Amino acid sequence: MGLFQKLVQGLAKTRAAIAGGLKKVLFLGRRLDEDLLRELEDALLEADVGPRTSAALVAEVRAAWKAKALASGDEVAPFLERQVAERLRSGGNAIARAPKGPTVVLVCGVNGSGKTTSIGKLTKFLKRGGGKVILGAADTFRAAAVEQLAIWSERNGVEIVRQASGADPAAVAFDAAAAGQARGADYVVIDTAGRLHTQKNLMQELEKIRRVAKKAIPDAPHETLLVIDATNGQNAIRQAEQFHKAVTVTGIFVTKLDGTAKAGALVAIRDVVGVPVKFVGTGETIDDIAVFDPDAFTAALFDA
Ligand code: GDP
């Protein structure tokens, strides 16, 4: 099965929520009026698109209606699809690349979001593209996290830089970046803690990792990827906002898009947080990763 078919299949529940909700509102021949706009907003909220983004989309429909670009209910769905795709396209979806030397990719996200699995998938993806990858195990807070990352490094046949459990995560990040440079790696992918005693500690630690990584490679990290679990719906949006405030996130990896009815949240994450979605996870195996394709994703949401 192609990745796109897999995504289409995985999004069946969200599609049912969005397309099904819209169909009830936007049927053929229905007059476009304020009642319809209210119901449209409710349908978007119901599909986890979130209050801010739902209101913004409805405002765009209203503006097009007032400008006489839209006249009836059935014209709204294709208009909405274009507006959503445009939002998801902005900012570009390609992973950053260092102008020379290794590209340092810092990966953050809360425990359970699928961070380690996503690093495993990303490693295979980058390797397949011809890149030499080194992993850095900077989640030294949990011994199990280092072990899990070591398993993914073995599966992918790539080197892992690690230290004893409890070591300074920033020191591991520095070592990994330095090793990447010394060994001519194309990518250094660094795992970070997903939970500490307090949220403040976690954010301070991420900040320190960024600072210390720069001592090995001045413009590192080139990419700070945040892993977000799509099944968390509205909570996922709040989480993304918090991380972005603490460490400037440059890309989002949305996991567990397979089988959730809450994929509408992805639109809100992009819109509210202002960071492009770069990868999506569509299952538990190493190959269940896709570069985010805004048009394919939008089509999969709307085209029932
Ligand atoms: P971490 O604590 O954030 O490092 O999370 P893990 O990588 O250990 O993943 C937590 C669980 O989510 C595991 O059972 C993974 O198999 C699962 N998982 C990760 N990504 C996906 C995905 O894209 N789809 C599905 N269905 N499960 C996923």
Q: How far is the CA of 58 from the centre of ligand 1 (A)?
A: 34
Residue that wins the pLDDT comparison between 173 and 245 = 173
pLDDT for the residue 260: 85
Q: Which atom of ligand 1 is nearest to the CA of 117?
A: 7
> Averaged over 195-199, what is the pLDDT?
73
102-155 tens-digit pLDDT: 999 999 999 999 999 999 999 999 999 999 999 999 999 888 999 999 999 999
Q: Is the CB of 288 under 6 A from ligand 1?
A: yes
In the three-class reduction of DSSP (H, G, I as helix; E, B as strand; rest coil), residue 199 is classed as helix
Instruction: Determine the pLDDT at residue 101.
Output: 95
Kindly state if the Cβ of 232 falls inside 6 Å of ligand 1. no
Q: What is the pLDDT of residue 3?
A: 65
Residue nearest to atom 28 of ligand 1 (CA): 284
Decide whether any atom of ligand 1 lies within 6 Å of the 287 Cβ: no
| Pairing, β 159-161 against β 187-191 | unpaired
Can you give the pLDDT at residue 197? 67
pLDDT in tens, 23-75: 888 877 889 999 999 999 999 998 889 999 999 999 999 999 999 999 888 89
Q: Provide the pLDDT for residue 234.
A: 87
Distance in Å, CA 257 to ligand 1 centroid: 11
What band does 184 get if pLDDT is binned at 50, 70 and 90?
Answer: very high
**Over residues 209-235, mean pLDDT:** 94
Q: Is the pLDDT of residue 158 over 70?
A: yes
Which residue minimizes the CA distance to atom 19 of ligand 1? 114
Given this model, what pLDDT does residue 151 score?
97
What mean pLDDT comes out for the span 14-24? 84
| CA dihedral sign, ordered 263, 265, 268, 272 | negative
282 lines ligand 1 (CB under 6 A): yes
Residue 262: pLDDT band with limits 50, 70, 90:
confident
Alpha carbon of 229 to ligand 1 centroid (Å): 9
| pLDDT for residue 141 | 87
| Residue type at position 87 | R
* Cβ–ligand 1 contact at 258 (below 6 Å): yes
pLDDT at 233: 87
The reported pLDDT for the residue numbered 183 is: 97
Give the pLDDT band (50/70/90) at residue 2.
Answer: low
pLDDT of residue 304: 61
Task: Select from 273, 281, 236, 238 the least CA-distant residue to 257.
Answer: 281
Segment 67-87 shows an average pLDDT of: 92
Tokens of 172: 């591991």
**High-pLDDT (> 90) share of the chain, %:** 68
Q: What is the predicted pLDDT for the residue at 5? A: 73
Using alpha carbons only, give the angle 212, 217, 220 rounded to the nearest 5 degrees. 75
Q: 268: Cβ–Cβ under 8 A, 6 or more apart, which residues?
A: 48, 49, 50, 52, 53, 234, 237
Q: Pick the atom of ligand 1 nearest to 255's CA.
A: 23
224 close to ligand 1 (CB < 6 Angstrom):
no
How far is 288 from 279, CA to CA, in rounded Å?
Answer: 10
Check if the beta carbon of residue 240 is closer than 8 Å to that of residue 266.
no
Cα gap 159→172, rounded to integer Å: 14
Separation of alpha carbons 233 and 269, rounded Å: 9
Ligand 1 pocket, residue 53 CB under 6 Å:
no
